[in-house]
C-alpha cells in the first residue's frame, strides 16, 4: 500500500529535518571515530541537569500512593496544574490569568499543533519571521495551512513593515519566537508594540484580527540583562505556547501549555477549540506525572551561567577561526555566516554544502536554509566545554579549505 504522496515526498526531501539528520549522522561518526573526535553542535538538547527543585518534585511525585493518580484527567489537564501555569504566565505577562485560560499539552510542539488545528482553515496563512524553527512549516501544513516567511531585519529583529505588507485576509496568525531559534535574538518591547499596532490596524481594515502566537520555550535563557517582552498588555488576540524542555532541561518529558490572553474576545471559544484539538489529535492529555512535577517546581531557581560561559567561549573560538556571527541575546545557539567562497554567492548551495564540508572535518552544524535563512549555519552550544575547547582547529581548517 502506498504512503501518502505528501508525506513520502516531504520525509525524503533534504530539507525535511536538517537538524535531526545532522544529529543522527553525528551518532554514526561518534561510533566510528570516538566521542571526543566529533564536534556535535547539531541539536538543541540541553545538557544541564534539571534543577534541584525539579528533582525533588520528581521524587515526591513518584512516592505518592494516591488511588487513580495514573488515570485520565480532563483533556485540558489537572486544575491545580493549570492554575500554576496561569500564575507563571500571569507573572511574565503582567496580566491576571485564571486556570481556565490554560491548556496543558505534551510539549510546546503539541501546543503549537493544537493552536493551529484550532484556528486554521484550508489555505489560511501563518506569518513567521525568518529565520524560524523549521518544524513550523510542518505544523502549519498538518492542518492545510501555509507558512509565509518574512525576512527579519539584518540584525534579526522583526521587520514590522515587511510583516505588515505580508498580511492579507488569509492571515490566521503571526507566530513569533523570542528568544529566537536559531539567531538568539530577543525582540524588543518597542517591536512588540509596533507589531501589535500593525495587526490591530489590519484587523480593523479587513474585519479579521490575526492571532499573535508567542512560542517561548527559551524565555528564561537570556544574556546581558535582556528581558523577553510581554505581549498580553498590548494585543488582545494573543496566546503563549511554551514548555519546560529548555529552561528546566526536561525535553524528553514532553510537558507544555497554551495560555490565552484574558482580554481575547473569543477566549472561551479559543480555549475550547484547543482542548478539543488536544483530544482529537490523539494527545488526549499532557502526561499526568509531569503535570504534577511542573505544578510543584516550575519556579525552581536555575543557574544558566554555564550557557553564558559556553556562549562566550564559542564566540572566542569563532573569532580566532575567522568566522562572522550574530551575538545571541538568548537561547543557546550561535547563528554563523557561511564563509565566502571564490566564485560562489552566499545562498542555499553555500550553507548546505558548507555543513557537509564541516562534517568532513567532524564538525556537525545545521544549515541555515532549513531555518529559512540561506547563507548561515546554526551551532547549538548546549554541549560540553571540552567540545568547544577542542573544536577550533577543525573549524579553522574547514574555513581555510573552503576558501
Cell numbers describing residue 314: 564559542
276, 297, 318: which is the final residue of a domain? 297
Cell numbers describing residue 126: 501563518
The model's pTM is 0.94
Packing angle between helix 288-297 and helix 52-63, nearest 10 degrees? Answer: 130
Report the distance separating Cα 332 and Cα 21, nearest Å.
Answer: 20
What's the domain count of the chain?
Answer: 2
Report the distance separating Cα 351 and Cα 92, nearest Å.
Answer: 37
Check whether residue 200 and residue 215 sit in a common domain.
yes
Check whether residue 213 and residue 280 sit in a common domain.
yes
Check whether residue 97 and residue 25 sit in a common domain.
no
Check whether residue 340 and residue 265 sit in a common domain.
no
CATH of the domain at 127: 3.40.640.10
Q: Is 330 helix (H, G, I), strand (E, B) or coil?
A: strand
Report the distance separating Cα 127 and Cα 175, nearest Å.
Answer: 6
Check whether residue 70 and residue 215 sit in a common domain.
yes
Check whether residue 371 and residue 346 sit in a common domain.
yes
The DSSP line for 196-253 is: HHHHHHHHHHHS---EEEEE-TTTT-B-TT--PPP-TTT-SSEEEEEESTTTSS-GGG
Check whether residue 278 and residue 145 sit in a common domain.
yes
Output Rg (C-alpha) for the chain, integer angstroms: 21
Check whether residue 78 and residue 112 sit in a common domain.
yes
Q: Are 251 and 274 in contact (CB under 8 A)?
A: no
Least confident of 10-19, 169-178, 287-296: 10-19
- Domain of residue 129 covers 52-297
Report the distance separating Cα 131 and Cα 134, nearest Å.
Answer: 9
Q: Are 274 and 103 in contact (CB under 8 A)?
A: yes
Would you place residue 34 in the very low, low, confident or very high pLDDT band (cuts 50, 70, 90)? confident
Q: What is the mean pLDDT of the chain?
A: 94
Is the pLDDT at 403 greater than 80, yes or no?
Answer: no
Packing angle between helix 348-360 and helix 392-402, nearest 10 degrees? Answer: 130
Report the pLDDT value the prediction gives residue 348, as an integer from 0 to 100.
46
Check whether residue 216 and residue 358 sit in a common domain.
no
Is the pLDDT at 106 greater than 80, yes or no?
Answer: yes
297, 322, 341: which is the final residue of a domain? 297
Triad 38, 41, 46: Cα angle to 5°: 115
Is the pLDDT at 24 greater than 80, yes or no?
Answer: no
Check whether residue 191 and residue 256 sit in a common domain.
yes
262, 280, 297: which is the final residue of a domain? 297
DSSP-derived secondary structure letter, 75: T
Q: Are 373 and 381 in contact (CB under 8 A)?
A: no
Check whether residue 233 and residue 293 sit in a common domain.
yes
CA-based end-to-end distance of the chain = 48
Would you place residue 9 in the very low, low, confident or very high pLDDT band (cuts 50, 70, 90)? confident
Q: Give the pLDDT confidence of 287-321 residue by residue, as tens digits.
A: 999 999 999 999 999 999 999 999 999 999 999 99
Check whether residue 247 and residue 142 sit in a common domain.
yes
What's the average model confidence in pLDDT over 114-128?
A: 98
Would you place residue 8 in the very low, low, confident or very high pLDDT band (cuts 50, 70, 90)? confident
CATH of the domain at 353: 3.90.1150.10
Amino acid at each position: 500500500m502506498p504512503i501518502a504522496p505528501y508525506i513520502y515526498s516531504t520525509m525524503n526531501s533534504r530539507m525535511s529535518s536538517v537538524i535531526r539528520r545532522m544529529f543522527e549522522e553525528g551518532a554514526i561518526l561518534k561510533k566510528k571515530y570516538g566521542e571526543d573526535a566529533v564536534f556535535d553542535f547539531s541539536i538543541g538538547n540541553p545538557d544541564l541537569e534539571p534543577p534541584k527543585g525539579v528533582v525533588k518534585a520528581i521524587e515526591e511525585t513518584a512516592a505518592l500512593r494516591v488511588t487513580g493518580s495514573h488515570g485520565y484527567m480532563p483533556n485540558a489537564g489537572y486544575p491545580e496544574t493549570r492554575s500554576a501555569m496561569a500564575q507563571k504566565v500571569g507573572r511574565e505577562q503582567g496580566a491576571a490569568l485564571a486556570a481556565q485560560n490554560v491548556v496543558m499539552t505534551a510539549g510546546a510542539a503539541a501546543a503549537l499543533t493544537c493552536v493551529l488545528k484550532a484556528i486554521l482553515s484550508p489555505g489560511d496563512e501563518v506569518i513567521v519571521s525568518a529565520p524560524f524553527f523549521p518544524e513550523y512549516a510542518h505544523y502549519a501544513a498538518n492542518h492545510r495551512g501555509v507558512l509565509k516567511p518574512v525576512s527579519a531585519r539584518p540584525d534579526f529583529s522583526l521587520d514590522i513593515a515587511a510583516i505588515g505588507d505580508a498580511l492579507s485576509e488569509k492571515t490566521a496568525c503571526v507566530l513569533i519566537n523570542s528568544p529566537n531559534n536559531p539567531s538568539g535574538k530577543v525582540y524588543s518591547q518597542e517591536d512588540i508594540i509596533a507589531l501589535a499596532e500593525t495587526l490591530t490596524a489590519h484587523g480593523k481594515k479587513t474585519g479579521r484580527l490575526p492571532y499573535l502566537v508567542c512560542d517561548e520555550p527559551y524565555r528564561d535563557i537570556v544574556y546581558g540583562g535582556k528581558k523577553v517582552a510581554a505581549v498580553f498588555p498590548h494585543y488582545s488576540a494573543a496566546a503563549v505556547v511554551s514548555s519546560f524542555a529548555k529552561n528546566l532541561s526536561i525535553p524528553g518529558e514532553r510537558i507544555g501549555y497554551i495560555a490565552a490572553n484574558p482580554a481575547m474576545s473569543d477566549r472561551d471559544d479559543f480555549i475550547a477549540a484547543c482542548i478539543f484539538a488536544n483530544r482529537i489529535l490523539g494527545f488526549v492529555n499532557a502526561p499526568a506525572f509531569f503535570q504534577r512535577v511542573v505544578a510543584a517546581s516550575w519556579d525552581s531557581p536555575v543557574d544558566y551561567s554555564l550557557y553564558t560561559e559556553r556562549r562566550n567561549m564559542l564566540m572566542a573560538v569563532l573569532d580566532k577561526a575567522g568566522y562572522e556571527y550574530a551575538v545571541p541575546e538568548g537561547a543557546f545557539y550561535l547563528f554563523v555566516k557561511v564563509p565566502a567562497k571564490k566564485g560562489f554567492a552566499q545562498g542555499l548551495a553555500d550553507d548546505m554544502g558548507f555543513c557537509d564540508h564541516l562534517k568532513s572535518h567532524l564538525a556537525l552544524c545545521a544549515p541555515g536554509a532549513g531555518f529559512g535563512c540561506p547563507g548561515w549555519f546554526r551551532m547549538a552550544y548546549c554541549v560540553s566545554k571540552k567540545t568547544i575547547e577542542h573544536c577550533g582547529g577543525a573549524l579553522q581548517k574547514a574555513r581555510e579549505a573552503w576558501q
